[in-house]
Amino acid sequence: MGLNRRILLTGLLASLPAAAQDLRQGDLVIGHPWTRAAGANGTGAGYLSIRNGGAAADRLLGASTPAARTVELHTMSREGEVMRMRPVTDIALPSGQTVTLAPGGLHIMLIGLTAPLAVGGEVPLTLRFERAGEVTVRLAVQAAGARQPAH
């Protein structure tokens, strides 16, 4: 393979979206960040996994994105026959464990979307951790009915 081809291939690989790879921030590994397609002015939700490989616990304290006016951490819980969504102040990340934010459970709520979330697009999301600091991931936008990240 010629030098020009190697340079081109290296550049293409480096430009792959961050959503397609796990991101490391300190002792944390953030995997498979994704969201569902949604219209402008509506709501969306961010999903991902966070593996804490460190000796100390950490906490997800919050998040922000230019794609929404407000971002909150939420959980779903069953109350009798009804599933209820409610905000939480933080999400615990125990040492040596993986916490998954997924439909029907913990998630990051994107309230007041500033533009539509179109399938195939990406949404920048900055996560704020107590110990690990801040890291920006890119949520891959999938079809409105998606239940898990595309691979």
CATH classification at residue 22: 2.60.40.1890
Q: What is the mean pLDDT of residues 79-85?
A: 89
**Residue 93 to residues 26, 54, 100, 101, 103, Cα–Cα distance (Å):** 13, 10, 10, 11, 18
What distance in Å separates the CA atoms of residue 94 and residue 131, rounded to the nearest whole number? 12
Per-residue pLDDT tens over the stretch 100-116: 999 999 999 999 999 99
Does a structural domain hold residue 23?
Answer: yes
Give me 10's structure tokens: 């290296």
Q: Which helix (H) or strand (E) element contains residue 107?
A: strand 107-113
Secondary element (H or E) of residue 12: helix 3-14
Look at residue 9 in the predicted model and tell me its pLDDT: 39
- For residue 113, which of 142, 85, 71 has the smallest C-alpha distance? 71
Q: Is residue 7 part of a domain?
A: no
Residue ranges making up the domain that contains 83: 18-142
Residue 4 domain-assigned (yes or no)? no
pLDDT score at 145 = 72
Residue by residue, DSSP assigns 109-140 as: EEEEESS-B-TT-EEEEEEEETTTEEEEEEEE
Which of these, 66, 42, 44, 58, lies nearest to 136 by C-alpha position?
66
Percent of the chain clearing pLDDT 70 (strictly above): 82
Asked, for residue 8, whether it belongs to a domain, the answer is no
Using CA of residue 129, residue 135, residue 139, residue 140, what is the dihedral sign? negative
Cα 146 → chain centroid: 15
What gap in Å lies between CA 138 and CA 38, rounded to an integer? 16
94 within a domain of the structure (yes/no): yes
pTM score, whole prediction:
0.83
Higher-confidence position of 119 and 1: 119
Q: Which of 28-32, 64-68, 83-87, 133-137 has the lowest mean pLDDT?
A: 83-87
Identify the residue with better confidence: 14 or 67: 67
pLDDT at 148 over 80: no
For residues 143 and 37, is the Cβ–Cβ distance under 8 A?
yes
State what percent of residues in the chain have pLDDT above 90. Answer: 74
* Domains held by the chain: number: 1
